[in-house]
Structure 1
Amino acid sequence: MAHAWRIVAGLVVGLVLGILCSRTGFAYLDATVAIAEPVGGLWLDALKMTIIPLVIALLITGIARTADSARGGGLALRSVALFIGLLWLSTAIAAILVPALLNLWPMPEAAAAALRGALGQPHAAVTAAPGLAEFLRSVVPTNPVAAAASNALLPLILFTALFALAVTRLPAAQREPLIAFFGAIADAMLVMIGWVLWLAPLGVLALAFVVGVHAGTAAIGALVHYIIIVSAAGLAAWLLAYPVARLGGGVSIGRFIRAVAPAQAVALSTQSSLASLPTMLRGSEALGVQHGVANVSLPIAVAIFRVTSPAMNLAVALYVAHWFGIALTPGTIAVGAAVAAITTLGSVSLPGQASFLTSITPIAAAMGVPIEPLALLVAVEMIPDLVRTVGNVTMDVAATTVLQRIEDRAADADG
């Protein structure tokens, strides 16, 4: 949390300095901007260099982890099936909700143009959508290495997902060393990202200074607008937990609110689903979930199930497209939604700043959306990340009530 506040401080200081220097006619403004631009650019490049290996490694280990969970018996298999279904449902809701919100309450065009100019892209990067045949041909990579080298993340993700599924079919003696190898790569990449994020206050300050100079106070309003829109997608996934508990788990709304409140408080203070696990177990017990159900389903949920992640990650990509005036077809949005739902299986249980770029870059790349704005948006991720964590914890507990009801019905049928 302390480092997250330092990143936010870098954003605020950079914006304020940029605005003040621009408005007061600072004599060395051009020279300062000439220094700040490459500093921010180098920091962004340092983050980008870890994305390809980390996405590949996390997707392979995530799919392998999901497959291992599904092998753990009938309850584990039903848990995984329910979690995947809810992930796709929350993503579909965001794919409809976010464009609707942006149509009702768009970013002011003047602010959007100023921010595009501040990031070196004064004009909207609108490109024609490929035809269906061309798109389908582009999805299957003839050369996965070339796809990685050219940042063609959608075909690379398809190849990686198929490779991971093939790995799960290997005998344990072959499968486990491969998974350990990619797990070690993921861990090493996360260490590198930790080093880069240590420099995040400086990198964000440099980027924010340039934005403040070119966009002025419009940048502040745009960032607030962004936080509200993206948080709304997470809030929708969060609120979905209540009808899931009521209709799927047969638990009254009032009882569910009281039982899940302690876990929500821990999630809010720690930004960690893992740290909330003990209070989630107690909350599930208060809702009548048996230990045998909660002790299987909740650890799996913490490992692979983050219901707000695909919804909010897709929302970020949709917002950047709106910011840059990129007209997205329903097919393009559907592709982004699919990538968001698939890649969330490989997400890591870390605060949002650590996983922000690696989670959203594949979605943005698949949709043809620029990723440069992500380096600035990561500075305000702390606020949406609170929505992410509390929403995830709430849905985890709701899902256990559904699984308990399924187990009860199966027991009644057997009896």
Structure 2
Amino acid sequence: MKKYKSLKLSTKILIAMVLGMILGLLFNKEIAILPNSIYTPMEAYFFAPVGKIFINAIKMLVVPMVFVSLVNGISQIGDLKKLGRVGGKTVGFYLITTSIAITIGLGLALLINPGANASLPAADIAFKAKESVPFTEILVNMVPTNPLKAMVEGNMLQVIVFSILLGMAVTSIKKEKSKIILSFFDALNDAVLKMIDFVMKLAPLGVFCLISKVLATLGLSSILNLALYMMTILLALALHLIFVYTGALMIFTKLNPIVFFKKFWSVMTLAFSTSSSNATLPVTMETVEKKFGVNKSILGFTFPLGATINMDGTAIMQGVATVFIAQIYNMNLTIPQLLTVILTATLASIGTAGVPGVGMITLTLVLESIGLPVEGIAMIIGVDRILDMCRTVVNVTGDTVVTLAVAKSENEVDEEIFFANEESLQVNFSE
């Protein structure tokens, strides 16, 4: 028990996932190693309630996390006049790459159809799809008439718009007046992140219950659907990393991508192990300054902003997961709904904190935006830990590529440092 308590959260979740998979397969109706008479009470009094509590805890954090993270992130930009060229380029790059990422995810999912012909247990939940709303009406309804009502009802597009406007307003008022607001939201942001930390401590038990229930009740053929879902996301992440980021690096910086990935590999492995853009941020910034020769004035702006609004890996997961869950529920997504997913996932990435597991939280608002049940998350959350590690690598790499592109356009990259031998550079990775 002492050894278990000393393990990292990611390790605990992986252990819980493996144990849950083993127990679920032992209870599986088609294998029937353990009798159903044991599974039935365990499902009623343990698997189902604990899994539901975990899902409810995730849903509870959606509104406060998005609202506080957005207001805090926008406010920290500072004087809006200082954004200028650098701010416009940075935000533009981030939003474009995120839109491309979600499009790749949706496209691959629609091509591969990972949820086709599956019969996962969550699909048995009584559910009636909402009628699709015209895209123009969605744009009009993005502006709330009552922001508090939008928060109570969980209308996340309206919450996002209000949060952005409030963040911009805070940066526009006099400094002495905005200090109190900035201090409040900064502290509130820390409190919300701590709440997420509390909820994620429940993750090993929640994952164990959810994956056990799923594997115990689904057919063996449906396990292949879950594996196909994972493969679809991993393929989309690889395509985005290799083609979009490498292409952007070659087109906008004219720098050698081989040199880039060779020097950045240590940061990518750190991002994989921590599953957190924020945890990787100090080492990422130090690497980009000392190994790539980017001026502090650029990376000091682009990286903190990127850790808040640039989540391409998360956007890919949300696209694939949305299509997968829709196929499980036999719901055909229309063109307006697909456009809504792209818009919602792009905007949702702005409010995604760079900590493990938050992608599952923001996925709820993407599902709700097109009328899919949040309960569908139960089908995929058990395998999300591995995917979270992979998409964090994509998120961190995206921040760095955009930083290099913006810095190169401002002539703030020292190419002598970029092409210098790595052995001659000193970078501290002990943090």
Q: What TM-score do the two structures reach when normalised by structure 1? A: 0.83
User: Are residues 1:90 and 2:97 paired?
Assistant: yes
One of 37, 48, 51 as aligned partner of 1:27: 37
Corresponding residue of 1:412 = none
Aligned-pair CA distance for 1:366 = 1.9
Aligned-pair CA distance for 1:249 = 0.3
Alpha carbons 1:64, 1:179 under 8 Å: kept: yes
One of 158, 166, 170 as aligned partner of 2:173: 170
Task: Could you tell me which runs of 5 or more consecutive residues in structure 1 were left unpaired when the two chains were aligned.
Answer: 410-415
Secondary structure, in 3 states, of the residue corresponding to 1:28? helix
Corresponding residue of 2:261 = 257
Corresponding residue of 2:55 = 44
CA distance in 2, matches of 1:228, 1:80: 36
Alpha carbons 1:154, 1:339 under 8 Å: kept: yes
Corresponding residue of 2:418 = none
Alpha carbons 1:336, 1:366 under 8 Å: kept: yes
Corresponding residue of 1:131 = 134
CA distance in 1, matches of 2:290, 2:79: 22
Alpha carbons 2:249, 2:405 under 8 Å: kept: yes
Alignment map for 1:157-306 (pairs within 5 Å): 157-239=160-242, 240-274=244-278, 275=280, 277-278=282-283, 281-283=286-288, 285-287=290-292, 289-290=294-295, 293-294=298-299, 297-298=302-303, 300-302=305-307, 304-306=309-311
Secondary structure, in 3 states, of the residue corresponding to 2:380? helix
User: Are residues 1:342 and 2:342 paired?
Assistant: no
Corresponding residue of 1:6 = 12
One of 60, 66, 70 as aligned partner of 1:59: 70
Secondary structure, in 3 states, of the residue corresponding to 2:114? coil
Corresponding residue of 1:326 = 331
Alpha carbons 2:102, 2:345 under 8 Å: kept: no
Aligned-pair CA distance for 1:63 = 1.9
Deviates more, 1:307-316 or 1:175-184: 307-316
CA distance in 1, matches of 2:160, 2:295: 38
Deviates more, 1:312-321 or 1:239-248: 312-321
- Letter in structure 2 aligned against 1:4: S
Aligned-pair CA distance for 1:203 = 2.0
CA distance in 1, matches of 2:388, 2:71: 25
CA distance in 2, matches of 1:135, 1:173: 38
Corresponding residue of 1:413 = none
One of 24, 28, 49 as aligned partner of 1:18: 24
Corresponding residue of 1:401 = 404
CA distance in 1, matches of 2:21, 2:112: 24
Aligned-pair CA distance for 1:215 = 0.6
Aligned-pair Cα RMSD in Å: 3.1
User: Are residues 1:80 and 2:87 paired?
Assistant: yes
Corresponding residue of 1:356 = 359
Aligned length: 400
Using a 3 Å threshold, how does the CA distance of structure 1 residues 9 and 115 change in structure 2: closer, same or farther? farther
Using a 3 Å threshold, how does the CA distance of structure 1 residues 395 and 17 change in structure 2: closer, same or farther? closer
Deviates more, 1:356-365 or 1:295-304: 295-304
Secondary structure, in 3 states, of the residue corresponding to 1:362? helix
Structure 1 residue ranges, 4+ long, deviating more than 6 angstroms after superposition: none
Alpha carbons 1:52, 1:148 under 8 Å: kept: yes
- Letter in structure 2 aligned against 1:55: V
Deviates more, 1:32-41 or 1:178-187: 178-187
User: Are residues 1:371 and 2:374 paired?
Assistant: yes
Secondary structure, in 3 states, of the residue corresponding to 1:68? coil
1:14-53 Cα distance to aligned partner (Å, 9 max, x none):
3432332232433233222211212221222122222222
Alpha carbons 2:298, 2:407 under 8 Å: kept: yes
1:141-188 Cα distance to aligned partner (Å, 9 max, x none):
333223222222222322332233323322222323223223323322
Alpha carbons 1:43, 1:203 under 8 Å: kept: yes
Aligned-pair CA distance for 1:61 = 1.0
Alpha carbons 1:57, 1:182 under 8 Å: kept: yes
Deviates more, 1:319-328 or 1:38-47: 319-328
Using a 3 Å threshold, how does the CA distance of structure 1 residues 151 and 367 change in structure 2: closer, same or farther? same
